Every structure is written in C-alpha cells, then in structure tokens.
Amino acid sequence: MIKRLLFLFSVIVFVFQGRSYEEYIWASENPDIKVDTQKSMVIIRSQIAIDEKDDYRPDESFTDQDGKEFWLKEWHIEPLYLPERKEWAVQTVDYKEVEWAGQIPEQTPITIKDKVTGQTVKQNIPIYQVEPGNEQWVTGFSFTAVFHSYDADYYQLGDKKIPFDNKKPQIKDCYTELLNEIQVNPEKYRITDAAWEGDTYLGDGGIICRNALITGEKKVSDYHVTYGGEAILPSFQGNQCVSVYRGFNSVIDGWDQAGEHLVNSGNSTENDKKGSWVIFRRSVVVTFSILLIIGVIVLAVSLKRRLKHNKRRKEIDHEEFY
C-alpha cells in the first residue's frame, strides 16, 4: 500500500514539474508575455448615455498605454450626480473686409460639449482679444448728394459753388466737403466718381435741386478675433459604469469569465491565443496543485494508519509472549 502511495506521489510531482518546465520554455520563447507577480487591476468609470442604460455593457478587455492586457472581472452601474460647473470656452473668428472695428460683434454664441456627460450647451461668450490684420482699399462705397441750384451757371454745395454741367457733376474740388456732409473719415473713404441721378426737380421752397450718385472706395481691414470666457455647465443626474479589469497574471479570481470570453470569441487574435494559454496554464497548475495536496494528505493518513496498525500488532505479540 505504501509503495503504491509513494508511486502515485512521485507521478504527481513528476507531472507537475514537467508542466512547470514546459511553461518556462514557452515563456522564454515568447518574450511578449510579461510575468508580473503583483496584483494588476484597472478601474474604469464610464459615463452612460440615458438611452444606453438598459443595453449597456463594458468592453471585455482593456489595453493600457504599455500594451498590457486586462480582462473584465466585474462591473456595475451606479448613479452619477454632477453639480453646476464652470469651464473655459474659447473660439476664434476671422472677419474679412471690416469697415470699422465697431462692426465686430461683442459676443458670439459658442457651443460647449461637456466632456463628462456628453451634453452640449450654447452660451454667448464675450471678446477676449482682437488682432487687426491686412488693410486694403475696396470698391462698394457710394452715397447720394443733393445739389441746389444757385443760378443758371452753378449749383451750390455748402459754401462751395459747383459749375453747371448737364452731363456730369464737376465735384473734384469738393471731395472733402462731400465726405464731411456724410460724416465719414477722409482717411478711410475716398471719392472716385460721380453721376447725375435723374433730372432736376423742385425742392422745399421752390428751389431747383438735382441728385447725384457719388461713388468711391473704402479702406477695410481683416480681424482675427478670439472670444473667450467661463461657460456654465448645468448640473447633471445620470449613470456611470464602474468596470474592474485584472491582468492575466493577477492572483485574484476572475479567470473563468475571461476564459469564456476567449472561447466564445469568433475572431481569435494572437494576443487572445496567448491569453488563452496563460489561463489554461493557470488552470493546469491549480489542478495539479490540488492533486498534489490530496496525494500528500492521503499519504499522511495512510502512513498514520500503517504505524498505528504496526504498533497494535507489536502490543499483541508482546502479550502473547508473556
């Protein structure tokens, strides 16, 4: 009996050592498999959209920035409340061919996306910085001037007399007066031409008048405007998923779920195969460890019984001798 138990024990030890040697050789030939005897765990908190709550399920695996793989061990959904928060919002706008800076809007609506909840809000944000750019003269400047008849030979514009010309207004000497009449800066606007608009007519007081279309150029600028300020993000009541992932070499439970995932997956990658091997290896080690412990226990019990039987037999032989 003892010989059989010793033989069984030897076989278990031999198989276990053989399996361990095979594991060592495989790991040596595959340096991508990192052996980490420490606990390896990653907890990921993910915001869940309202319409995804019922069907939501986290990813079965997670790979960190070092390429280390982790597998889902457990997860649950818990409520998430976020109070009202402030977030800096910024947006740049390029305005082309602006006549004067006062035409630039003092505020602009900016859409801000909450990075946590995924919701979007639109708020008016003021000007933070203005950078003028290229300046140029462009066409598109025009206005109507009214000339009053002074006598048969002249029209009057303020204190100036303009020679009568039925074909075209003779206004070369009164560009500045015309610009002052419409209250614009002569450095920003200039007159290049004029033409009569219609025939003469009687104005107030029976004075003969005639309209003229004055055309010219205006100096415009480009502006690079930055709008910036604090936007208010509203409070939020929702849900988040808390997922716990553990690495292949963790000593914590959770390998059954990862193993089922790998077996049921239709597309098996090289990393999945390595993961499957590690899981299988751990199962084999655990199995043979249990068998080894059972063998030792059985051997110890058998030895104890054998020693007790031998002791009892010696006592009987001693009694018969006397």
Name the region of 158 (left: φ>0; alpha: ψ -120 to 50; beta: rest).
Answer: left
The answer to whether the beta carbons of residues 46 and 240 sit under 8 Å apart is yes
Tens-place pLDDT, residues 136-158: 999 999 999 888 875 657 777 77
Q: Which residues of the chain have pLDDT under 50?
A: 15-38, 250-286
* The pLDDT of residue 228: 96
The DSSP element (H or E) to which 44 belongs, if any, is strand 41-48
Write the DSSP symbol of residue 235.
Answer: P
* The pLDDT of residue 314: 67
* The pLDDT of residue 18: 45
Tens-place pLDDT, residues 211-233: 999 999 999 999 999 999 999 99
What are the backbone dihedrals phi and psi of residue 231, each rounded to the nearest 5 degrees, phi first?
A: -105, 145
The DSSP element (H or E) to which 199 belongs, if any, is strand 189-202
Whether this prediction's pTM lies above 0.85 is answered by no
